[in-house]
Structure 1
């Protein structure tokens, strides 16, 4: 079954400086975390994010389709119980 993202919720993780979100593969929840550095690279931002909640959540919302595409690709290549997306996952 394909990974999809029917729930648009996401949350900021202050301790790890990034955003948590959840995908679904059939009946299974698949947790993801994207690091703030990955949000910077994915957005091709001219200035770095300050890794604040507002910056990270805004960047995530703008980049949601691209982030979901990368999450699907990674999940399809290596099945795990959870995933961390980092800057090297974005081209």
Structure 2
């Protein structure tokens, strides 16, 4: 049974770049439970092929596409014990 995404929220606009994993990390909350989301460099490049390279460009691409990425995160979220999701565009 798929859990309703209405309980998943993104009140904290923080995001960070993880150079070891080559992804931007951000967090959602299901009530008091923190859920981690990762969107990789390749997916961000698909969203903005002319973005340039490096952390600053990847974070800027994430910011420009935040609503779309959050929508994908809500679609991927199923609830249950899993607390980390990879988002692909």
Q: Compute the TM-score of the two structures, normalised by the length of structure 2.
A: 0.82
User: Gapped runs of 5+ residues in structure 1?
Assistant: none
Shift >6 Å, 4+ stretches:
none
Contact 1:18 1:36 in 2 (8 A): yes
Match of 1:8 in 2: 13
Give the root-mean-square deviation of aligned CA atoms: 1.7
For the residues of structure 1 that align with 2:61 and 2:34, how far apart are their CA atoms?
Answer: 23
SS in 2 for 1:37: helix
More helix, by proportion: 1
Shift in Å, 1:15:
1.0
Instruction: Give the one of 47, 50, 68 matched to 1:47.
Output: 50
User: Gapped runs of 5+ residues in structure 2?
Assistant: 1-5
Shift in Å, 1:48:
6.2
Match of 2:3 in 1: none
Instruction: Give the one of 11, 29, 36 matched to 2:34.
Output: 29
| 2:72 matches 1:85 | no
